[in-house]
Structure formats: C-alpha cells, structure tokens
Amino acid sequence: MRAERIFNAMFWLYLVVFAAYLFTPLIIMGAASFNESRFPTVIPWQGTTTEWFAAMWADAAMWQSLWTSVLVAVCVVVIVVPVGTAAALVLTSLHARARSFAYAVMVSPLLTPGVVIGISTLILWRQMGVGGGVFLIVLAQSTFIICYVMLMVMARLQRFDRTQEEAALGLGASRVMVFRRVTLPFLRPALVASAGLAVLQSIENYNTTLFVRGFETPLTVFIATKVRTGLTPAVNALALIIIVATVIGAIAYEVARRRRAA
Amino acid sequence: MGDLKNRFGPGLSTIFLILVLFWLAVMVLAPNLMMIDYALRPNLPPAALGGPDDTYTLSNILYLAGEPTHRAIFFKTIWASGLVAAVTFAVCYPIAFWMAQRATTGQLAIALMLIIIPFFINEVLRTLAWFIILAYRGPLNAVLMNIGLIEAPIRWQGNGGVLAAMVYAYILFMLLPIYNAIESLEKAQIEAARDLGASRWRIHTRVVIPHAKAGIATGFVFTFMLAAGSYVAPALLGSPGSRWFTEIIYNWFFEGGDWNRGAAYALVLLVLCLAVVLVTLRLFRVNLTDVAK
C-alpha cells in the first residue's frame, strides 16, 4: 500500500507539472505586457504600466493587419460553409466503394503540410498571372478548412433521420423546399459551429498564409515579423487581448451549446 | 450520384456537385499537379521557356540528394519530427489514461477545459510565449540560476527550444485521439488483468496500449506531420544550427528565387508526410476513416 501511495503522489505531481507546462507560458506572456521593461519579460519587474496597451492601440500597422485578417476570415467563411456542406451531402449519398475513395481524396488536404498547400496554390496561380494577396490567402486557407466543415456536417448528418425528408416530400413539398425547410434547419448547429471554427482557423493560420500573402501582412505574419525584428511588450498586449477574446468566445460558445443541449 | 439527385432534385444536386468539383479540381488537384510540373522542370530564364532545355528532369530532386547541408537538414527534420511525436506521446499518455479511466466526471470536465483553452490560442502566439520564456535573459534562466541549478544563462534557442514549443503546440492532437481510444476500454478488463496478477506495466503494455493503438497511431501521424511541416517554431525559436526543412523551402521561394527547386523540395516533403501516414496506418491496421475525426 505504501508503494501505491508514493505512486499516487508522483502522479499528482505529474498532473501539476503538466498544468504548469500548459499555462506558465501564457501567464508569463500576458504578465509581461504590464512590465515597463522594453523587452517583454517578467524578471526583473521594472514597474507596472499600461503604456504598452496604448502603444499597441496607436500602431497603424497593427490595425491594418487586423483588418486584413478579418477580411480574409469573412471571405473564407463565405466559401467553406457552402462547399463543405455540399461535400458532406455528396459524400453521404455515394455508394460504399466510391465513398471510401472520395473520402480519402476529400480529407487529403488535412494530411498535406500547410506549407505545401500554400506553395502549390502560389505556383498554380502564378501561371495564370495572379500573385500572392488576399485572394490567394482566402483560396489556400479554404482548401483545407473546407475539410473541417465537411467533417462537422457529416457528424451531424449521421444523426439525421432521412424519413423526415421523405415525409415532407410525401406531403407535397418540392425537393428544394425539403432542403430549405428540413435538411438545412437540422444542420444549422453544425453550420454555425463550423463557421466559428473556420474563423478561428483562418485568423490563426500562419504556415499556409506565409507563402501566398504577397505584400499583405495578416495578423499572424505581423506578430511573427515583430518577434524577429523588434519585439516590445506592445506585441504581448496584443497577444493578451487576442487570448482573452478567444477564451471568452470559446466559453460563450460552450455555454450556448450546453443551453441548447439541455 | 442517383441518390443525390433523388434526394435534392436536379437543380440543387448540380450546384452541390459543381461546388465540390471546383474545390477538388481547382483547389486540391490542379495546384498539386502544377507543383509536380514545376518540380520536374529546370529553372530557366523566361526567354528559354519552351525551348530545347525546357524538358522534364529529376535534377531538382537529385540536387537535394547531392547537397550535403540540405540532405542533413532533411533527415534531421524527419527524426526530429519523430522525436517530437515520441515525446508528445510520453507526456500525454498518462494524462490520457487518467482522464479516460480514473477521473471523476467533474475532474474530467475541468481537465478537458484546461487542456483545450491553450489550443484556442494561435500557434504564433504560443511560440511567442516560448520565445519569451526561453530568452537568454528570460524567466527560465533567471529561475534556474536563482535556485542554483545553473551558474550561467543557457542559450535555449535551437533544438531544445524548438522541441519544447512543438511538443507544447501538438499536445491536443496526441491527447484527444488517445483519450477517445482508451475511453472505450472496459474498466473490467483492467481489473481482470490486475486480479490475474499483472503488474501495472504489464496492464499497460498488454491491455491498454493494444486497445488504444488506433488512437496512438492517429496521434503519431498528426503530430509528425504537423511537426515536419511547421515553419513558425523553427523560424522563431531555432538557431542557425537548428534549421528546419521548411525554412529551406521558404528560402528557395523568397530568397533564392528558384521556384522549381523550391517546388521539388515541397514535393519531397509532401511525399514524405503521405508515406509516413500510409505506413503508420498500415502498421497499426487503422482505417483512414478513423483518423480524420
């Protein structure tokens, strides 16, 4: 029994270390945005200040990059939600053999490294005279974000009772009407969730975006460039705001989901 | 196809098919074919395009095999990505087991939330967090010197820093599939093994791990692929001595100005990742359908 107790103590220690590994980096990064030191750190603490938030707020380049990221994310959602839904519907109506082949093709962008998606998109469109920029960023990001939408819609479709569609048809609804009034409302939660996921995936993407960005500087590229060329706690202030916003968003989404489920 | 038309009528099914074909043809297939085409052609000045030298050649790929620095970085990227996957597995397995088999419902809910929160935060910011911690005059060195473990600051940037940040970045991709797999294991099986006198080690190697092998394979595949294709962690946390294959590809495109060679290198990376995925799935006898969930 003593061995058991030692083992348990060691296990709880591991859990504590694991939690520390997960959160210390984020806490230190957030805390450093309140330190007066020019390089973001927490040791030594040179005095508490909010000047870095003001510096970040006044940075026109930051606003420009935020605008680029938001624009890209909106365009991505407009593309990926319809295409991903169509892909899920097409895939679920295929027969077993064709389905497993089509499935492999359709999830292949998820198994392709992000840099390769960016590179291949860049090369194809250069042939047609289109260079990197918002258009190619949207296209390259959509290539793999569509897969996430497709998988989420497919998961929801598995619980769909097809007799509902047949009942509507039997009651005289047209096929378009069945889709609009029966299938689509059923899929709604998955569509909303996948739109949210798409925004998150788009804004946080770096590997793919880097190759197709042309002269644009989306938020992630902006931050990475700052880290290399002159990191000040203003970047930490930005990071902290993004983190707080994402965490609040995630919690709000989860609360809404639970309320619906209950 | 007939089923689709039956269900949604000709108009809607045509729209669906056009959308899907546009995605697969224009966004997935065509870019990859063009990349292969680029990879197999020499880098010529515009005047020579279409001329006698504009033929298919393996020279760009052979260049990678012949250039010792690039070759070394390529192999290093492979084994380092394998190492990232192995370390991530070691870090995640105990907690995945605990969450799936031992934790109470309340503990599980808290653990899941705590693990998922950091992964809502984007990879560049997570890397930035490590950049700050591992800085030469940063908190980690200060703490270690204060408690007397080291006498002078250590340069963490380089292989160590890249490893720490990558393991950190991919925990969720390893943890969730393993957790899902272990969760479906009946507690009675573990108890039966214990009652029959199996040691803790043996319970894991003979009961839990075989049961969870699909989840483990999924975790490995994703972690390896993400690590091998990662650019941000090596770019921000690496040192000149710890270059990553993706950095070389980037240089061909935006510094070396040889897109053909860059395309060839990217193609090699793609083939490597697909090979690792297929071989791992074969080895563990896992279906692709179980992977992408």
Instruction: ipTM value, please give it.
Output: 0.87
The Cα-based distances of A5 to A2, A10, B104 in angstroms read 5, 9, 19
Q: Are A115 and B231 in contact (CB under 8 A)?
A: yes
Q: Are B140 and B134 in contact (CB under 8 A)?
A: yes
Residue in chain B lying closest to A220 (CA): B124
The answer to whether the Cβ–Cβ distance between B125 and A11 falls below 8 Å is: no
Q: Is B249 helix (H, G, I), strand (E, B) or coil?
A: helix
Helix intervals (H) in chain A: 2-31, 51-57, 60-92, 96-107, 114-127, 134-157, 163-170, 175-178, 184-204, 207-212, 219-229, 233-261
Closest residue by Cα to residue A65 from A208, A196, A213: A213
Q: How close, in Å, is residue B225 to chain A by CA atoms?
A: 7
Q: What is the pLDDT along chain A (262 residues), one digit of tens a residue?
A: 678 888 888 888 998 999 888 888 888 888 888 888 878 877 778 888 888 888 888 888 899 999 999 999 999 999 999 999 999 999 988 887 888 889 989 999 988 999 999 999 999 999 899 998 999 999 999 999 999 999 999 999 988 888 888 898 889 888 888 899 999 999 998 999 899 889 988 998 999 999 999 999 999 999 999 888 878 888 889 889 888 888 888 788 778 777 776 6
Contacts of A43 in chain B (CB under 8 A): 138-139, 142-143
B272 is written with which tokens?
A: 């490597």
B283–chain A Cβ distance below 8 A for any pair: no
**Residue A1: other Cβ atoms inside 10 A:** 5
Report d(CA A135, CA A117) in Å as an integer. 14
Q: What are phi and psi of A223, to 5 degrees?
A: -65, -45
- How far, rounded to the nearest angstrom, does the alpha carbon of residue A117 sit from its chain's CA centroid? 16
A237 is written with which tokens?
A: 């202030």
Which residues touch A189 (CB under 8 Å, ≥6 apart)?
A: A156, A257, A260
Residue in chain A lying closest to B135 (CA): A41
Mutation target for A interface from B6, B87, B145, B231: give the one with most A CBs within 10 A: B231
DSSP string covering A9-44: HHHHHHHHHHHHHHHHHHHHHHHGGGB--SS--SSS
**Residue A120: other Cβ atoms inside 10 A:** 30
Contacts of A142 in chain B (CB under 8 A): 23, 27
Using CB atoms, pick whichever of B95, B98, B292 lies closest to residue A151: B292
The answer to whether the Cβ–Cβ distance between B24 and A106 falls below 8 Å is: yes
Q: pTM value? A: 0.88
**pLDDT given at position B145:** 87
Closest residue by Cα to residue A193 from A157, A154, A149: A149
B135–chain A Cβ distance below 8 A for any pair: yes
**Residue A34: other Cβ atoms inside 10 A:** 19
Mind listing the pLDDT tens digit for each residue in B90-136?
999 999 999 998 888 888 888 888 888 777 778 888 888 898 888 88
The answer to whether the Cβ–Cβ distance between A206 and B124 falls below 8 Å is: yes
Q: Is A95 helix (H, G, I), strand (E, B) or coil?
A: coil
Mind listing the pLDDT tens digit for each residue in B13-70?
999 999 999 999 999 999 999 999 999 988 887 777 777 778 888 888 888 888 899 9
Burial A54-76 (b: 16+ CB within 10 A, else e): ebbeebeebeebbebbeebbebb
Q: Is the pLDDT of residue B292 over 80?
A: no
E strand map for chain B: none
Report d(CA A123, CA B38) in Å as an integer. 8
Report d(CA A246, CA A255) in Å as an integer. 14
Higher per-residue pLDDT: A72 or B286 = A72
**pLDDT given at position A159:** 87
Calculate what percentage of chain B has a pLDDT beyond 90. 38
Mutation target for B interface from A27, A116, A223: give the one with most B CBs within 10 A: A116
B7–chain A Cβ distance below 8 A for any pair: yes
